[in-house]
Amino acid sequence: MNIDFSRNLIKGRIAEVIFEQMIREEEQYTVIPFGYEHTMPTLAQYRHISEVPKVIDNISEAPDFALVSEDKTKIYLVEVKYQKNFNLEEIKNYSEKLLKRWESPWIFIATQDNFYCAPCSSVMKNGDMSKLSESWVKKERQLEYLKLLNEFENKLK
């Protein structure tokens, strides 16, 4: 296996854990792991059912998390990605893929410099992406987790 592929896979998982922990600590949302990595092991035991390959195909494009607001009035489907440097063209590609299969998905990007989060439709329509709002995660917590992300980044070099 290519070591660079593995390194990028690990960075992606670190970004997912950081996102999940930041959101959990704010205690505004119930965080539900939703993506392929979380549902596939359970579904694999049902491969003999003819519909399963179609379901697995849909799930392979699923966002990583579902966030349910504390008051249970909002649900956000969020895809988490790591980028060493912010790359809007890649983000647009991710957003376009998500919009083809999911209603109102969001995308979260962790970079060495900042966290970003926006609805995929906004990324495609406006051609830009906002920094993670303090209404989701307070700035102090974001800075703590950004420091943690960079500690891992430095160790993986």
What is the CATH number for 90?
3.40.1350
Which of 117, 128, 64, 67 shows the shortest CA–CA distance to 92?
A: 128
- Distant-in-sequence contacts of 55-61, Cβ < 8 A, 24+ apart: 58/101, 59/35, 60/36, 61/36, 61/97, 61/98, 61/100, 61/101, 61/102
CB-based contact 65:80 (threshold 8 Å): yes
Half-sphere exposure of residue 132, counting CA atoms within 13 Å on the CB side? 24
pTM here is 0.87
Measure CA of the first residue to CA of the last residue in the chain; give whole Å.
18
pLDDT tens series, the chain, 157 aa: 578 777 778 888 999 999 999 999 999 999 999 876 666 666 656 666 666 666 666 666 789 999 999 999 999 999 999 998 899 999 999 999 999 989 999 999 999 999 999 999 999 999 889 999 999 999 999 999 999 999 988 776 6
User: What residue numbers bound the domain in which 142 lies?
Assistant: 3-155
Q: What is 71-139 written as a DSSP string?
A: TSS-EEEEEEEE-SS--HHHHHHHHHHHHHHSSSEEEEEE-SS-EEEEEHHHHHHHS--PBPPTTTS-H
- Residue 96: how many other CB atoms lie within 10 Å: 12
Number of folded domains in the chain? 1
pLDDT in tens, 123-136: 999 988 999 999 99
Alpha carbon distance 12, 129 (integer Å): 19
* Per-residue pLDDT at 147: 95
Q: Dihedral through CA 35, CA 26, CA 15, CA 97, nearest 10?
A: 40
